[in-house]
Amino acid sequence: MSDARSGFRAIPSVDVVAQIIERLAPDVPAQVAVRAAREEIEVVRGAVRQGQQVVAPDAIAEAGAVRARLVLADAPSPVINATGVIIHTNLGRAPLSERALDAVQAAAGGYSDLEFDLATGQRGSRSNHIADVVREVTGAEAALVLNNNAAAVFLALEAHARGREVLVARGESIEIGGGFRIPDILQASGVRLRDVGTTNRTRVGDYARAVTDDTAAIMRVHPSNFAQVGFTESPDARELASLARECGLLLINDLGSGALLDTTVYGLAQEPLIGEALEAGADLVTFSGDKLLGGPQAGVIVGSSQVIEPIARRPLARALRPDKMTIAGLRATLGHYLRGEAVDEVPVWQMIAAGGDDLRARAERVTNGRNGLRVVDSSAAVGGGSLPGQVLPSVAIEVTNSKSGADDVARRLRDSARPVIGRIHRRRLRLDMRTVLPRDERALREVLQAL
């Protein structure tokens, strides 16, 4: 006990540590230095409680200066995605096209007609800037854009099924990344979930037998990155739509990712198309903006005016609405689809469509014959909960002659001025070129030269 007391007495004061931090990092404001000093001293106190010795004030201040600079640094930090996962949730999902970036910058950097009608000089609606292009690109009668797909699902249920039951196939009552659980969303929206069928097999008859006077809707849920194989069965969307109409129910189809282009063209399985989901009879279709669509984070609801308008009138629609930057970026992204240029301009689709010869040529440019790097065949994935288990043939750069292990190489690349995130394959670090943006090739080459 006496050793601990003497240890605590040896801890320097906040003022002393803060003054050293300001000397080490003159660009750090005083209040930031004081907070960093406090937090580092608390770390030292914890170490003393564990029986460790108190380090010198200069050492505490050095750690505090690092902490203070992190507070002042721009974040999130740009990274080079060399994982081979195109829509990487942890790395920010879909990168925007150049046109979308310009649109976001223009919206963010000045004033705009976000809620102003230039023709009449009166107040306008922000939804007018995005609903028309969503309708055009999906073929829907009406559309509503919110700030993410969880919000879209939540508000659709809250508006049309609050206090009532919604039927969901047992195998679609899933959890995806970040602890997002479909049952939790239903509960939060005031809806009672009724499981239908079994985990692996659900038929239309299972839904029909589950319908009661308290049933408001049937909901289909995209399984995200969860896939069932083998002895499985699920009803056709048109069969469910027919049953919903017969019973006076809504059919809600949460596509999750939501595609506007056919993934089978690129050797992948069929990802549900938004237009086909509507044509099959869904009353409401929800999907994300920052997955296969290739735009900013958003949740989009499409369907008939009769079902969209009550959702738009809900008080929470205002709380969950998108900001001007999201609207600008999403509109610009959708414009690529309308002009038939999405594969050439939207980065997600550029990556999906990239050919092996092109990827190999890019890898050769980056390595430039340097020893310790070799170009190898690899495999990439779409990611973002789309097409689980599906792979795209790819090309990667493999670090072969590092004196340290793959984990150390990965750490050094993460610690570089422009962090590079790769993946370890059979004890060697691989950098997959399918997910490296062309504009990042030079930076990647410089990072590898410094290894």
Q: Please give the Cα distance from 41 to 61 (Å, whole number).
A: 9
Q: Please give the Cα distance from 417 to 180 (Å, whole number).
A: 34
- In this structure, which amino acid lies at residue 406? A
Q: What residue has token string 């984070």? A: 297
Q: φ and ψ at 252, to 5 degrees?
A: -105, 125
Neighbours of 261 (CB within 10 A): 20
pLDDT in tens, 299-330: 999 999 999 999 999 999 999 999 999 999 99
Same domain, 188 and 215: yes
194, part of any domain: yes
Question: Helix, strand, or coil here: 286?
Answer: strand
Same domain, 67 and 104: no
184, part of any domain: yes
pLDDT, average across residues 251-272: 93
Burial tier of 160 (Cβ tally within 10 Å: 0-12, 13-18, 19+): buried
Percent share of the chain, pLDDT over 70: 97
pLDDT given at position 181: 85
pLDDT given at position 313: 96
Same domain, 64 and 7: yes
- In this structure, which amino acid lies at residue 426? R
From residue 332, how far is each of 75, 86, 105, 342, 433 by CA, in Å? 24, 20, 12, 11, 26
pLDDT in tens, 184-220: 988 999 999 999 988 788 899 999 999 999 999 999 9
Same domain, 120 and 14: no
Same domain, 149 and 183: yes
And the tokens for 133?
A: 């292009």
And the tokens for 114?
A: 């976000």
Same domain, 246 and 191: yes
pLDDT in tens, 112-133: 999 999 999 999 999 999 999 9
Same domain, 336 and 354: no
Same domain, 379 and 435: yes
* Structural domain boundaries enclosing 35: 2-72
pLDDT in tens, 50-89: 888 878 889 999 999 999 999 999 889 999 999 999 999 9
Of 301, 319, 340, the domain-final residue: 340
Q: Is 399 a residue whose pLDDT tops 70?
A: yes
pLDDT given at position 177: 66
Same domain, 372 and 409: yes
The strand pairing partners of 74, in sequence order, are: none
Q: What is the mean pLDDT of the chain?
A: 92
Q: Please give the Cα distance from 415 to 301 (Å, whole number).
A: 40
Task: Show Cβ contacts of residue 232 under 8 Å, excluding neighbours closer than 6 positions.
Answer: 171, 200, 201
pLDDT given at position 360: 98
pLDDT given at position 388: 80
Same domain, 232 and 330: yes
- Alpha-helix residue ranges (DSSP H) falling in 248-291: 274-279
Binned at pLDDT 50, 70 and 90, residue 178 comes out as low
Residue 223, preceding peptide bond in cis (omega within 30° of 0): no
Q: φ and ψ at 365, to 5 degrees?
A: -65, -40
Q: Is 402 a residue whose pLDDT tops 90?
A: no
pLDDT, average across residues 238-256: 95
- Residues 145, 327 contacting (CB under 8 angstroms): yes
pLDDT given at position 229: 74
**Which pTM value belongs to this model?**
0.90
Of 278, 310, 340, the domain-final residue: 340
Of 340, 356, 378, the domain-final residue: 340
Q: Please give the Cα distance from 343 to 353 (Å, whole number).
A: 7
From residue 252, how far is each of 81, 307, 360, 423 by CA, in Å? 35, 10, 43, 38
Q: Is 33 a residue whose pLDDT tops 80?
A: yes
Q: What residue has token string 């919206």? A: 107
Neighbours of 274 (CB within 10 A): 26
pLDDT in tens, 146-155: 999 999 999 9
Q: Is 1 a residue whose pLDDT tops 60?
A: no
pLDDT given at position 2: 53
Same domain, 210 and 302: yes
93, part of any domain: no
Q: Is 225 a residue whose pLDDT tops 70?
A: no
CA–CA–CA angle 365, 367, 371 (5° rounding):
145
Q: How many domains does the chain have?
A: 3
Same domain, 163 and 212: yes
pLDDT given at position 96: 98
Q: Please give the Cα distance from 330 to 338 (Å, whole number).
A: 13
CATH number at residue 206: 3.40.640.10
pLDDT in tens, 362-389: 999 999 988 899 999 999 999 887 888 8
Q: Is 172 a residue whose pLDDT tops 90?
A: no
Query: What is the DSSP code string of 191-245?
Result: -EEEEES-SSB--HHHHHHH--TTEEEEEEE--TT----SS-B---HHHHHHHHH
168, part of any domain: yes
